């Protein structure tokens, strides 16, 4: 089987189940800082899940780590990036090392998707998609998404090739929305 190379940035937190699921059939490189958290994810698929322990706010360390991963396993076919806001050039550096990839940029609920996209330099060979985390309205209360809901929403967005998907709801929205721009 021709395995793809997938990069998951922040793949040891709320995306951990996505990391493990994709590593069943693909080579998955995972970025995180905490060695114990990383080890617990890698041991589920030790042959195909490859750790990159790096702080993505450290530009040189991030660039070197991404270069190393590409050299070892080939270019990234797909990138799933959950990068905290205020992390400097991290997202741009990830894009710079993913020239021919399908990139899924995961945004928190407070992010402005158009602004986030405008801030980035994309190249013509790259596909850039956004998945935004919303909230869940249940009866009279509002709660954050569960990790399962987030993982399912990201997988759905990948399968449907949505340019933008909101998981959950925002204000008066109901259910999962997708928009192809
Ligand atoms: N609805 C929303 O909009 C929304 C938004 C944000 C969060 N949440 C909820 O809040 C919970 C906690 O959020 P969270 O942001 O802590 O997400 P998380 O996905 O649980 O953890 C963040 C991930 O990014 C990695 N990471 C963070 N900073 C990093 C850095 N500087 N360099 C490299 N890797 C880094 C972490 O690994 P290390 O810890 O090893 O560094 C981890 O894998 C989530 O479980 C989610 O359910 C909801």
pLDDT tens digits for 111-129? 999 999 999 999 999 999 9
pLDDT score, position 155:
97
Token representation of residue 8: 């998951």
Place domain 5-130 in its CATH homologous superfamily. Answer: NAD(P)-binding Rossmann-like Domain (3.40.50.720)
Ligand 1: atom nearest CA of 87 is 31
Could you tell me if 163 and 130 are in contact, meaning their C-beta atoms sit under 8 angstroms apart?
yes
pLDDT score, position 171:
55
What are the sequence ranges of the domains in the chain? 5-130
Ligand 1: atom nearest CA of 134 is 1
Please list the ranges in the chain whose pLDDT falls under 70: 1, 171-181
Q: Is 93 in the pocket of ligand 1 (CB under 6 A)?
A: no
Residue whose CB lies within 8 A of the most ligand 1 atoms, among 12, 57, 83, 93, for a mutation test: 12
Ligand 1: atom nearest CA of 37 is 40
pLDDT score, position 176:
46
Residue whose CB lies within 8 A of the most ligand 1 atoms, among 14, 16, 130, for a mutation test: 14
Residue nearest to atom 7 of ligand 1 (CA): 108
Residue 144 contacts by C-beta under 8 Å, 6 or more apart in sequence?
133, 135, 136
pLDDT score, position 2:
84
């Amino acid at each position: 089987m021709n395995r793809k190379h997938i990069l998951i940035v922040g793949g040891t937190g709320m995306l951990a189940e996505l990391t493990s699921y994709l590593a069943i059939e693909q080579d998955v490189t995972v970025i995180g800082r905490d060695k114990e958290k990383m080890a617990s994810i890698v041991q589920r698929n030790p042959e195909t899940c490859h750790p990159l322990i790096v702080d993505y706010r450290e530009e040189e360390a991030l660039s070197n780590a991404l270069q190393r991963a590409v050299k070892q396993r080939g270019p990234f076919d797909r990138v799933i990036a959950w990068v905290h806001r205020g992390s400097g050039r991290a997202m741009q550096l990830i894009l710079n090392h993913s020239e021919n990839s399908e990139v899924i940029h995961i945004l928190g609920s407070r992010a402005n998707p158009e602004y986030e996209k405008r801030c980035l330099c994309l190249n013509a060979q790259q596909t850039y998609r956004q998945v935004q985390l919303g909230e869940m309205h249940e009866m009279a209360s509002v709660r954050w998404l569960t990790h399962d809901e987030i993982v399912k929403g990201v997988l759905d967005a990948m399968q449907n090739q949505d340019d933008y998907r909101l998981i959950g709801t925002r204000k008066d929205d109901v259910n999962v929305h997708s928009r192809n721009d």
